């Protein structure tokens, strides 16, 4: 190596040592047709962050256009700044840098409601980037020395009829899943008798030994009496939990139902978009399971904080994931090292878009367990070539001046 | 009147009787320069709803571009629909119609984080419209038979130095205000000694008899120990309340501080964007005052629900308002008929934009009290001619197709 080459190498090394965020790009992807069903894998908002010759990827579990607007909008006042204010050009060399960026978003954008959903994808991409830079899986950067297998539950919608629910249950059980969740669809909307029929159909379909989770999809809003009518049937079919009977944060309704009989364990929290909301659910809702979507709560940083808080209160942390395996990897990292938190949501009805996001898949092993990826970052390579066909070009102008245009994917 | 004229008149009457929403338009207004200060009157998002030859106006206390995006964005899935899905073309003939629209937004858009901020302006405009149609002030439609005067507190930022705070306090007292609030600015950011100096300067400036409120602007995040260091000084200057020491929803930190000594009454809640968040603050935060911004919490409908819940728990409801008198009227309606809830936030440092939004002003009477307008709806006429100069044209295209363009103001 001659002197010039040595200087170039040293300069490159210094650039690498002191990485700053060079670009943050959002990609709105959508299926050609989005159906009015509870399937969140029909569109996606990916975030790509580049620095020092590397790139990290994240995914917001959020309205793509609204989140992009929150990133580029003009400042309204000191507490309502666009996300870009807290992110662009910042250093990204250690976990502390990510914590600092999260804290700055909280300080600069508390009055921008969409901010936490947008931050989620950014935070996930930052962890992926940092993991690649430090050549470590994200969970190690979070402080976990070892990780534990998780038992995936096949997460899917109820059938339109109890017969269809039975068929879906049977089919899922035949694929080897030891835990199955049914949710949304007609549940709670066609009367008590029909709900009971769906519950029994689900149990019969999966067999008596599998875990059965039921997701009410907030259908009873805040009405704990209506929800309580389903408790006997839930007990009869040995439901492992009843999820989201009420809107997120309805502490009173949750608490009432948690004390009703027969007792059925409650799960909730996917709608939380910051730490204190999750903390309120942990402390005041009578939950047994707290479910966190890293793509909504502010990313891996905040999800990890919730996992720690839940452990401290003896509540089981569960990921909430209904999109890609990039999102699944991000959702697993925050609690990958907590052995007692065994259960993991695993979507099995993904649209092609969500299937094509990640080249690598997180699939159950021969014992039916899944494992957090061991590769640097999130361990999922985004398949940009396959995703071109789903890309939605976004063009936003204010007073004739373009403030956002979709970059090259 | 001939037969044809009679038919036309009957048809007009029927159209009037069965009004449907004909248009919902958003107007993003901004000062030429937006400063990085805690002054929320530097931009605005107005909502105009037309039906049956009438129009109602509302204001979102929210990021304008982000809120517009949430109104027009494509559906992501059944629980993440744009606001327009729940509003366009709907009937608007009674309070029940407004309650139904609010409920539909909750059902259709729980996963769209920005939704509540956008709904707020829509809900306010719907009440204004309905009031005009029924020729009643909004508070009557909410069920209040009579209303009570409110004691406005002059709401303003701390000075950059204690000397400046003193001067501002002196000036405000000279204008006859019996209650003054200082907030944001340097408070909590320059150390304990400086905060104490600001507190004493404020008290000396306004005199010993006026109410003095202090707004910490969430500066201590969740750190109740740091906040507690200010309690002795707050007590010394006889602060009526300490507002927002922590981020919205930080129930644990609020509760700790509410039990610390010397006791100082706590106020908070302006960041709540739905009923259950406010309910959690009422039930678990140790608050004495719950502060609700009708432009954020989902509008007048949800604000009224919070006012009722607060009354039931012996907590005082206070409006949060730092923008126009259209927003002020909307913020007063939900608790206009609750006699014991005497205090009202009254912004005194409005930028010209916010001053020019309403032709009518809500000004203190000779005794220093303000009154909710008695005219139909909100009683504030939007000065569209004056606002033209502040209008920001918004143009959003997806895949080359325009999905939003600012309409004629």
A183-231 pLDDT, tens digit each: 989 999 999 999 999 999 999 999 999 999 999 999 999 999 999 999 9
Q: How far is CA B98 from CA A392, B39, B87, B123, in A?
A: 34, 31, 10, 7
Q: How confident is the model at residue A11 (pLDDT cuts 50, 70, 90)?
A: low
Chain A CB contacts of B43 below 8 Å: 74, 76-77
- Give the whole-angstrom CA distance, residue B116 versus residue B135: 28
**Element housing B280 (H / E):** helix B275-284
Which A residues 70-99 touch B at CB under 8 Å? 70, 72-82
Angle at A118 between CA A28 and CA A389, to 5 degrees: 10
- Give the whole-angstrom CA distance, residue B285 versus residue B300: 23
Q: How far is A238 from chain B (nearest CA, A)?
A: 28
- Give the whole-angstrom CA distance, residue A155 versus residue B194: 55
A235 Cβ under 8 Å from any chain B Cβ: no
Q: How confident is the model at residue A10 (pLDDT cuts 50, 70, 90)?
A: low
Q: What is the pLDDT of residue B18?
A: 84
Chain A CB contacts of B251 below 8 Å: 276, 279-280, 283-284
Chain B CB contacts of A31 below 8 Å: none
pLDDT tens-digit map of B327-364: 999 999 999 999 999 999 999 889 999 999 999 999 99
B286 Cβ under 8 Å from any chain A Cβ: no
Per the CB < 8 Å rule, is B400 touching A395? yes
Which A residues 363-382 touch B at CB under 8 Å? none
> Which of B67, B111, B184, B302 has the most A C-beta neighbours within 10 Å, making it the best mutation to test the interface with A?
B111
Q: What is the pLDDT of residue A17?
A: 64
Chain A, nearest residue to B67 by Cα: A66
Per the CB < 8 Å rule, is B34 touching A75? yes
A113 Cβ under 8 Å from any chain B Cβ: yes
Report whether pLDDT(B14) > 60: no
Name the residue among A251, A19, A245, A271 with its Cα closest to residue A120. A271
**Element housing A44 (H / E):** strand A43-51
Q: What is the ipTM of this complex?
A: 0.94
CB A348 within 8 A of CB A174: no
**Residue written as token pair 């001619």:** B385
**What whole-number percentage of chain A has pLDDT above 70?**
96
- For residue B405 the two structure tokens come to 């363009």
Name the residue among A336, A380, A335, A338 with its Cα closest to residue A357. A380
Report whether pLDDT(B8) > 90: no
Chain B, nearest residue to A117 by Cα: B113
Per the CB < 8 Å rule, is A398 touching B400? no
Chain B CB contacts of A43 below 8 Å: 74, 76-77
Q: What is the pLDDT of residue A9?
A: 65
Report whether pLDDT(A303) > 70: yes
Averaged pLDDT for residues B139-156: 96
- Give the whole-angstrom CA distance, residue A381 versus residue A379: 7
CB B72 within 8 A of CB B396: yes
Chain B CB contacts of A251 below 8 Å: 276, 279-280, 283-284
Chain A, nearest residue to B69 by Cα: A66
pLDDT tens-digit map of B268-322: 999 999 999 999 999 999 999 999 999 999 999 999 999 999 999 999 999 999 9
Chain A, nearest residue to B248 by Cα: A276
What is the dihedral sign for C-alpha A353, A358, A359, A361? negative
Averaged pLDDT for residues B21-39: 96
Q: How far is CA A147 from CA A150, A332, A341, A364, A371, in A?
A: 9, 10, 11, 15, 8
Report whether pLDDT(A15) > 60: no
Burial string for A204-243 (b: 16+ CB within 10 Å, else e) reads: ebbeeebbbbbbbbbbbbbbbebbbebbebbeebebbbbb
Averaged pLDDT for residues A290-315: 98
**Element housing B13 (H / E):** helix B3-17
Name the residue among B127, B123, B115 with its Cα closest to residue B273. B115
A43 Cβ under 8 Å from any chain B Cβ: yes
- Give the whole-angstrom CA distance, residue A214 versus residue A337: 26
Q: Work out how many CB contacts closer than 8 A connect A with B.
A: 227
B402 Cβ under 8 Å from any chain A Cβ: no
Per the CB < 8 Å rule, is B43 touching A74? yes
Averaged pLDDT for residues B70-84: 98
CB atoms within 10 A of CB A42: 25
Q: What is the pLDDT of residue A349?
A: 86
Chain B CB contacts of A247 below 8 Å: 106, 110, 274, 276
B73: DSSP letter: P
pLDDT tens-digit map of A21-75: 999 999 999 999 999 998 999 999 999 999 999 999 999 999 999 999 999 999 9
- Give the whole-angstrom CA distance, residue A400 versus residue A91: 33
Q: How confident is the model at residue A14 (pLDDT cuts 50, 70, 90)?
A: low
DSSP B77-90: BTTB--THHHHTT-
């Amino acid at each position: 190596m001659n002197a010039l080459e040595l200087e170039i190498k040293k300069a490159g090394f210094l650039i690498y040592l002191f990485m700053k965020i060079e670009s943050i790009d959002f990609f709105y992807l959508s299926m050609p047709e989005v159906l009015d069903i509870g399937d969140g894998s029909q569109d996606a908002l990916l975030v790509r962050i580049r620095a020092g010759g590397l790139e990290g990827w994240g995914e917001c579990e959020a309205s793509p256009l609204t989140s992009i607007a929150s990133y580029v909008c003009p400042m309204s006042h000191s507490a309502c700044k666009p996300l870009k204010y807290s992110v662009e050009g910042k250093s990204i060399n250690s976990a502390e840098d990510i914590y600092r960026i999260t804290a700055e978003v909280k300080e600069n954008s508390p009055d921008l409601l969409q901010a936490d959903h947008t931050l989620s994808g950014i935070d996930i991409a930052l962890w992926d980037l940092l993991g690649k830079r430090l050549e470590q899986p994200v969970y190690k950067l979070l402080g976990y020395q070892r990780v534990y297998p998780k038992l995936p539950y096949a997460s899917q919608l109820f059938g339109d009829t109890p017969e269809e629910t039975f068929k879906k249950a049977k089919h899922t059980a035949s694929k080897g899943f030891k835990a199955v969740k049914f949710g949304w669809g007609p549940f709670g909307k066609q009367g008590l008798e029909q709900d009971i029929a769906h519950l029994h159909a689900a149990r019969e379909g999966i067999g008596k030994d599998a875990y059965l989770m039921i997701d009410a999809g907030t259908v009873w809003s805040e009405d704990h009496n209506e929800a309580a009518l389903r408790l006997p049937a839930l007990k009869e079919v040995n439901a492992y939990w009843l999820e989201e009977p009420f809107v997120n944060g309805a502490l009173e309704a949750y608490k009432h139902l948690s004390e009703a009989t027969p007792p059925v364990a409650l799960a909730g929290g996917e709608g939380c978009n910051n730490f204190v909301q999750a903390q309120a659910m942990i402390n005041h809702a009578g939950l047994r399971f707290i479910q966190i979507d890293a793509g909504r709560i502010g990313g891996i940083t905040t999800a990890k904080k919730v996992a720690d808080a839940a452990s401290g209160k003896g509540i089981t942390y569960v990921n909430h994931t209904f999109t890609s395996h990039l999102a699944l990897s991000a959702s697993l990292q925050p609690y990958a090292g907590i052995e007692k938190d065994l259960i993991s949501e695993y979507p099995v009805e993904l649209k092609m878009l969500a299937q094509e996001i990640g080249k690598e898949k997180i699939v159950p092993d021969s014992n039916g367990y899944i494992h957090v990826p061991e590769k640097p970052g999130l361990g999922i390579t985004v398949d940009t070539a396959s995703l071109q066909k789903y890309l939605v070009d976004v063009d936003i102008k204010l007073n004739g001046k373009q403030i956002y245009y979709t970059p090259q994917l």
